[in-house]
Amino acid sequence: MSQPPELRSRDGVLKLDLQLRSYRNPDGSVRYCYVSAGAPSPTLRLHPGDVLELRLKNELTDLDPAPAAMPGMTMTPAAPGAGAHSDPCNSGAMTGVSTNLHFHGLTVPARCHEDEVLKTSIQPGDPPFEYRFRIPQNEPPGLYWYHPHIHGFSSRQVMGGASGALIIEGIERAVREVAGLPERVLVIRDQNLLNPGAPPSKSEPVVPHNLIDRDGDSANNGTGYGRPAKDLSINFVPVPWPDYPPARMRIKPGARELWRVLNASAITYLNLALIYGRAPQQLGLVAIDGVPMVSNGHAVPVTWVDHIGVPPGARVEFIVNGPGEGVPAMFVTRTVDTGQGGENDPNRALASIVAAPDATEPAALPAEPAPLPAPALPWLGDVQPVRVRKLYFSEKLEIPNDPNSATTFFITVDGQEPKAFDPADGPNIVTQQGDVEDWIIENRSTELHAFHIHQLHFMLLDWNGAPVNEPFLRDTVNVPYFNGRMLQYPSVRVRMDFRDPDSVGTFVYHCHLLEHEDAGMMGTIRVDPRPATGTAPP
């Protein structure tokens, strides 16, 4: 198993041409792939302050019939003659062959040619579309990613393979424990089952009869086994049901490395672990969602754990101490309880780790880094919010008495009527640059959801009413499911940071299970500029 190809900035600029292509596999499945100079889905590497100049060419062909409009949503077709006469910045077209780019986790503005996904839509007939922006000087060093974000079609394109890693250099400047370590980039994607009709492996315990959930996938059976909702791949090496033949990773015996793992799945939760023999190993967690674990500008000691939960869209970076020569070793994902209404994410292998003296060692991080400058703004956890909002996830069966009927998904601001996302609607929330807010996000459904917001990171304060006060920031967080017997709905409380001037604009928040987002579980927020009076927020 090889690592993704890399493209690095030079003299403060990273220039590349990127094509998005689709093709049909012999098994009938439709796949999507980014290509740059013949290399698939390259990892983009930039420093704070660098400029990204990316020319995206849409080379999609219509291989699948377009789905019907999502409930409550107006599907916007491409304009006649799209390409020669359309304006990608204001197209808003949402079709099976439309595309755009979202730079997940970066704090760049929601403007056309930067990171705007509501109106920006590129058609196959359009000339290459340029994304051009500067990485903020204060962008946390870590792992980010890029993927398409056309509403109604995000899940299809991402699950088809359209995704790639993006690294902001300098994590060793924030976490000295990783200085000089070889680094390994691992991109985990999901896809439709390659062997949907296969019987279970004989090595698996007998599980209850396979059930199908409302999304048409294998439902959570609560056993940790059985047919998964989706297959997984690691760096494009499939690990399919039912035998999960793992990818093969060669590593020097006893090597100490930094692993940077992206969950680029459309709907699959991961619960990562490293097993030597039968013993789970300690993983030294140093960053989540591209943000080093740093509080008030000071590094938090490496957190050693034996498993790490990673929702769809999230990233984790951790230190690994490799196995000795001849020691059987496996990188796995453990089962995730997604709730009665959720998909089945069972125990399964991802990669076997082979310790060999002749293994090629990945490139290493700088060994003597300069420390990062002190942050200009006070630590988010020390700032009092100017207001508190409540939002909630919920679902509605189109045919109430048919548990397998189509489902509409909602994320609703408390006090508003639940409504599936429609890009023609105005913003659900309006706030002001400079403000800090607390959001309480409830889950009124029986399945796990993953909350994500564009353009900023947030701080997790409470989990189901219990204080957490994590000394780091995230951009994606799980919201626990309602089991029907609880006295109140499960919730998380997060502190939203709108202090950065680049947060001005209109952008989205949504569930990062992309089937849910495509089916309506998304809203918009407009951040207005701070008045020019120069007065501080209350």
Assess whether pLDDT exceeds 60 at residue 74: no
**Structure tokens of 421?**
């996302």
Assess whether pLDDT exceeds 90 at residue 422: yes
pLDDT above 90 coverage of the chain, percent = 83
DSSP H helical ranges for 365-417: none
Which residues does residue 187 pair with via DSSP β-bridges, in sequence order?
262
Q: Give the CA count within 13 Å in the CB-facing half-sphere of 69.
A: 12
Of the candidates 536, 512, 402, the one whose C-alpha atom is nearest the C-alpha of residue 453 is 512
CATH 3.40.50.2000 fits domain 178-355:
no
Confidence class for position 66, pLDDT limits 50, 70, 90:
low
Average the pLDDT over 239-252 and give the result.
97
Which residues does residue 282 pair with via DSSP β-bridges, in sequence order?
none
Confidence class for position 56, pLDDT limits 50, 70, 90:
very high
CATH number assigned to the domain covering 6-166 = 2.60.40.420
Residues of the chain with CATH 2.60.40.420: 6-166, 178-355, 380-528
pLDDT digits (tens, 9 = 90+) for 375-420: 889 999 999 999 999 999 999 988 777 766 678 999 999 999 999 9
- pTM recorded for the entire structure: 0.94
pLDDT digits (tens, 9 = 90+) for 151-163: 999 999 999 999 9
pLDDT of the residue at 536: 56
Task: Give exposure, 492-503, as e/b (b: 16+ Cβ within 10 Å).
Answer: bbbbbbbbbebb
- In degrees, rounded to 5, the angle at the alpha carbon of residue 28 between the alpha carbons of residues 23 and 31 is 35
Assess whether pLDDT exceeds 70 at residue 291: yes
Assess whether pLDDT exceeds 50 at residue 83: no
CATH architecture assignment, domain 380-528: Sandwich (2.60)
- Residue-averaged pLDDT of the chain: 92
Assess whether pLDDT exceeds 70 at residue 294: yes
> How many Å apart are CA 310 and CA 338, to the nearest integer?
13
pLDDT of the residue at 70: 44
Average the pLDDT over 514-537 and give the result.
87
Assess whether pLDDT exceeds 80 at residue 127: yes
Confidence class for position 534, pLDDT limits 50, 70, 90:
low
pLDDT digits (tens, 9 = 90+) for 309-342: 999 999 999 999 999 999 999 999 999 999 999 9
pLDDT digits (tens, 9 = 90+) for 446-461: 999 999 999 999 999 9
pLDDT of the residue at 81: 43
Of the candidates 334, 172, 324, the one whose C-alpha atom is nearest the C-alpha of residue 258 is 172
Three-class SS of residue 425? coil
